[in-house]
Homo-oligomer: A and B are copies of this chain.
């Protein structure tokens, strides 16, 4: 993309309404614009990152064998009356009536709707196990929406639902989701720690939240410092294997890690003192096993191998897709702006032309642009007639991990400058070497490689 043809409305001043760094930078980098309280338009740069995060979620769900579908945003109130949650949900649920006076609501979650789909179409244990998920906009009418996309009212969430014949199978689905989520977050450059949590209005006994450590997190968290040394990495795993998934669960959850909701001071104090940590965390996902809580009242049963009708065992599993943009920025930024991890960066590299209009510099930039594009990478070329200082400030603010700077002086020596946004280190090298270097870096993070 050429910046002269893009829509990147960066702000020089810090908007006064933004209290946390991710909100400030998302506004300043022209990623979002508030449409009304807690509701945002995703400007082109923000939308690109949102889409990358969504793509990673889809790819990792497919890897785990989960099936993508899409439920609508609006639901009939009747289903929620059946489960008993229509009255329970309170003022956070946005309710409305259609032109015929039928009660409807903007879905805050989808247990009822998916259970209805299941009971309408599945009747036999032979069709299990089954995990269906979607990535869809939800609405929760927060009384005080704030922190930008971190606590918005209209937000994008991945929610998945497993249907299993037995509790054992359902707990495998739970473990499989935990493994899949570890991979998912790591691909986004995040360390998200599974912590024992409280189930809230979803219900159920087994639940873990995934928390990203960040000073601005809304939860206080308590953990054994050994946990931050764990990496899932690129290990191969058979998602059908109960043993392999169980082993990962044990590895990642056997050490103490809890939010303030479930914190147990006595257990915490059993950790050697030098490993006890208190910090703040941002919740980016949660998994639940809740057994037959919805399948029993809603009649979601299957015939087992003996011909008996039994309610299925279920769980639900969520990733806060739009909130992740905020979480990633909270975890990865400096005082100049955002620092995108390679896995989610909106553009793979920036090209800064120090002397727009100089024939040689223009040609070198065009050649870099063409080479990167031919490799399947997306460069952002700042081809505006602006001063170098302004171009650098924009690139630093929007946080592309790699920048190639092209100027007449370097070109005389046959070199351009390759700069890492994270370390700030620069290196002079031939243009084709810069392209090779960037290609090699992304070969590790792009899907299918």
Contacts and interface: CB of A to CB of B under 8 A. Distances in A.
A94 interface: yes
B76 A73 contact: no
Interface in A77-101: 78, 91-92, 94-96, 98-99
Interface of A is mostly: mixed
Nearest to A43: B69
Interface string A96-120: 1011001010100000010011001
B7 A130 contact: yes
A44 interface: yes
Copies of this chain held together in the complex: 2
A172 to B, nearest CB: 15
A246 interface: no
A119 to B, nearest CB: 11
Contacts of A7: 67, 69, 121, 127, 130, 132
Nearest to A2: B65
Given A132-B7, A137-B137, A139-B74, A113 B35 contact: yes
Contacts of A106: 74
B117 A43 contact: yes
A330 interface: no
A157 interface: no
Contacts of A95: 96
B75 A35 contact: yes
Contacts of A6: 67
A33 interface: yes
B120 A35 contact: no
A122 interface: yes
Contacts of A69: 7, 41-44, 46-47
Contact of A72 (B40, B44, B76, B121): B40
A70 interface: yes
Contacts of A91: 99
B121 A71 contact: no
Nearest to A384: B126
A431 to B, nearest CB: 25
A36 B104 contact: yes
Interface string A27-57: 0001001011101111110111010000000
15 contacts: A6-B67, A7-B69, A33-B117, A33-B121, A35-B116, A36-B78, A39-B76, A41-B113, A42-B71, A44-B67, A44-B68, A44-B132, A74-B106, A74-B139, A94-B98
Interface of A: 5-7, 9, 30, 33, 35-37, 39-44, 46-48, 50, 65, 67-76, 78, 91-92, 94-96, 98-99, 102, 104, 106, 113, 116-117, 120-122, 127, 130, 132, 134, 137, 139, 141, 143, 153-154
The 4 closest A-B pairs by CB, nearest first: A9-B121, A96-B96, A36-B76, A42-B70
